[in-house]
Structure 1
Amino acid sequence: MPGQETFTAWLRRHAITAETLDPRAPMDDLEPLRDLIGTARVVAIGENAHHVREFYLLRHRLLRFLVERCGFTALAFEAPFTEAHMVDAWVQGGPGAVQEVAAAGAGAGGLGCCTEMYDLLAWMREHNRDTAAPLRFAGTIISSRRPALAALAGYLRRADPDALPVLEQINAHAEGLHHTSIFKVLHQYTALEPAVQDAMTASISRLLGRMETMTAYQRSRGHEREHATALHHLRGVWYGDHALRDFAGRGIPAGSAAADAYLAESVLRLLADGHADGRIVLAVHNCHIRKTVVTHDGAFGLFPAGYHLAQALGEDYLAVAATSGDGRTAQVRPEPGHPLGFQVLDHPQPPPTATSVESAFAAESALTIADLRAARPAVIDHENFQHMRMEHYLTDVDVFDAYDAIAYLPHTTCTDYVSAQPPPPAQRWS
Structure 2
Amino acid sequence: MSTTADAPTRTDEATGTAAAVRDWLRANARPVSDTDADYLGADLDPLIDRLAAATVVGLGESTRFSQQTAGVRTRVFRTLVERHGFRALAIQDSARSGERWDDYVRTGAGDPQSVLAGAWRPWRSAETVASLEWIRGFNQRHPDDRVRIFGVRPPQAEPSDYDVVLDYIRHAAPRRLTALESHLTPIRTAHQVDEHVQRHQGTHPGRPFVDEARDALALLDGLPESPERSAALSHARLILSFHENSVAGQGGFARDERPSADRVIEWQRTTGARIVYWDGIAHVSGLALGVGQSEADAFLGTGSHLRDHFGPDYVSVAIGFHHGDLGTTVAPDPGPDLIDATLGSVDLPAFSVDLHTQAPDSVVRWRLASAKLRAISGIYDPAKDAYAHVIVGSLIGAYDMLIHIRQTTPLRWLPEFATAG
Tell me, yes or no, if structure 1 residue 74 matches structure 2 residue 102.
no
| Among 234, 242, 245, the residue aligned to 1:243 | 245
Calculate percent identity across the aligned residue pairs: 21
**2:113/2:129 contact within 8 Å kept:** yes
Change in Cα spacing, 1:238 to 1:69, as seen in structure 2 (3 Å) is farther
Aligned to 1:409: 405
Matching residue of 2:42: 28
Q: Which residue of 2 aligns with 1:112?
A: 123
Instruction: Give the CA deviation at 1:408.
Output: 0.6
User: What is aligned with 2:391?
Assistant: 397
Contact 2:59 2:73 in 1 (8 A): yes
Q: Deviations over 1:289-324 (max 9, x none)?
A: 112223467787631111111111110111101100
Whether 2:353 is the aligned partner of 1:356: answer no
Matched, 1:49 2:32: no
Distance 1:193 1:120 in 2: 38
Which residue of structure 2 lines up, in the alignment, with residue 169 of structure 1? none
Secondary structure in structure 1 of the residue aligned to 2:352: strand
Distance between the aligned counterparts of 1:375 and 1:350, measured in 2? 32
TM-superposed deviation, 1:182: 7.9
- Structure 2 equivalent of residue 203 of structure 1: none
Q: Displacement of 1:149 after TM fit?
A: 9.2
Any idea what SS the aligned residue of 2:351 has? strand
Shift of 1:55: 1.7
The equivalent position to 2:210 in structure 1, one of 184, 189, 192, is 189
Contact 1:82-1:148 at 8 Å conserved across structures:
no
Select 2:152's aligned residue among 140, 159, 171.
Answer: 140
Deviations 1:83-108 (A, max 9, x none): 2211111112323222222233xx20
CA contact (8 A) 1:355 1:385 kept: no
Kindly provide the CA deviation profile for residues 46-103 of structure 1, in whole angstroms up to 9, marking residues without a partner as x: 1111122112211211111111111111111222211221111111232322222223
Please tell me whether residue 99 in structure 1 is matched to residue 75 in structure 2: no
Equivalent-residue separation in structure 2 for 1:79 and 1:11 (angstroms): 35
Q: CA deviation at 1:262?
A: 2.5
CA change 1:257–1:23 in 2 (3 A) is same
Q: Could you tell me which of 245, 249, 253 is aligned with 1:255?
A: 253
SS of residue matched to 1:397: strand
- Cα distance in 2, alignment partners of residues 357 and 387 from structure 1: 6
* In 2, Cα distance between equivalents of 1:193 and 1:280: 38
Structure 1 residues 386, 298: closer, same or farther in 2, change over 3 A? closer
| Deviation for aligned residue 1:43 | 0.6
Segments of 5+ residues of structure 1 without an aligned counterpart are 151-171, 201-235, 331-344, 426-430
Distance 1:268 1:147 in 2: 29
CA distance in 2, matches of 1:51, 1:237: 27
Which one of the candidate residues 345, 353, 362 is aligned to 1:370?
353
Q: Is the 8 A contact 2:268 2:275 kept in 1?
A: yes
Secondary structure of the corresponding residue to residue 29 of structure 1: coil
Q: CA deviation at 1:14?
A: 1.6
Partner AA of 1:401 in structure 2: G
Give distance in 2, aligned partners of 1:406 and 1:27: 19
- Given that 2:153 and 2:260 are in contact with CA atoms closer than 8 Å, whether structure 1 keeps it comes out as yes
Query: In 1, Cα distance between the equivalents of 2:418 and 2:31?
Result: 38
Q: 1:142 to 1:8 in 2, by over 3 A?
A: farther
Aligned residue pairs total: 342
Secondary structure of the corresponding residue to residue 110 of structure 2: coil
**C-alpha deviation, 1:423, in angstroms:** 5.6
Contact 1:83/1:147, CA 8 A, preserved across alignment? no
Note if 1:388 corresponds to 2:373: yes
Q: CA offsets per residue over residues 256-303 of structure 1, 9 Å max, x none? A: 424x2232122112212322xx21111101111112223467787631
Q: In 2, Cα distance between the equivalents of 1:237 and 1:291? A: 32
Alignment gaps of 5+ in structure 2 = 1-12, 163-179, 197-206, 222-237, 377-381
Quote how far apart the aligned CAs of 1:348 are.
1.3
Residue number in structure 2 paired with 1:286: 281
Aligned-partner SS, 2:107 = coil
Alignment-derived partner of residue 127 in structure 1: 138
User: Which moves more between the two structures, 117-126 or 76-85?
Assistant: 76-85
C-alpha spacing 1:372/1:239, structure 2 compared with 1 (3 Å): farther
2:268 corresponding residue in structure 1: 271
Q: Does 1:39 align with 2:53?
A: yes
* Structure 1 Cα separation of the partners of residues 282 and 26 of structure 2: 27
The equivalent residue for 1:327 is 324
Contact kept, 8 Å, 2:26 with 2:346, in 1: the verdict is no
Of stretches 296-305 and 358-367 in structure 1, the one that deviates more from structure 2 is 296-305
* Equivalent residue letter for 2:332: P
In angstroms, what is the RMSD of aligned CA positions?
3.9
Q: Secondary structure at the match of 2:128?
A: helix
Whether contact under 8 Å (1:358, 1:388) holds in the other structure is yes
1:225-255 Cα distance to aligned partner (Å, 9 max, x none): xxxxxxxxxxx999858636x9657xxx773
Measured against aligned partners, the alpha-carbon deviations of 1:130-152 in whole angstroms (never above 9, x if no partner) come to 113001122123442369999xx
1:310 is matched with 307
| Bigger radius of gyration | 2
Residue 418 of structure 1, CA deviation: 8.4
- The normalised TM-score by structure 2 is 0.69
